[in-house]
Amino acid sequence: MILEQAALGWTPDQIGRWHGLTAGTVTTYLLDVRRRLGVGTLEEAIAEAERLGLIDLGRGSEQRP
């Protein structure tokens, strides 16, 4: 869900508040996701995760904090 929220334009601070995490923890998580997916940018991570079926940006998860 964190990667989906980032894909929808949420900031690390917004994501952190939603999940009860710090913005730093969210940033670290997103960096780890990029590393695990073998990509260099957040945009590439989002595309790869969607390609692999790990996230679905078409299901209306457009809630904002």
Q: Which CATH code, of 1.20.1070, 1.10.10, 1.10.3210, 1.10.3470, is assigned to 2-51?
A: 1.10.10
In this prediction, residue 4 carries a pLDDT of 95
* Phi, psi (rounded to 5 degrees) for 52: -80, -5
SS (H, E, C) 37-62: HCCCCHHHHHHHHHHCCCCCCCCCCC
Kindly list the domain boundaries of the chain, sorted by start residue.
2-51
In this prediction, residue 62 carries a pLDDT of 53
Alpha-carbon gap, residue 51 to 49, rounded angstroms? 5
Encoded tokens for 60: 């209306």
Q: What is the mean pLDDT of the chain?
A: 91
Which pLDDT tens digit goes with each residue over 34-58? 999 999 999 999 999 999 999 998 8
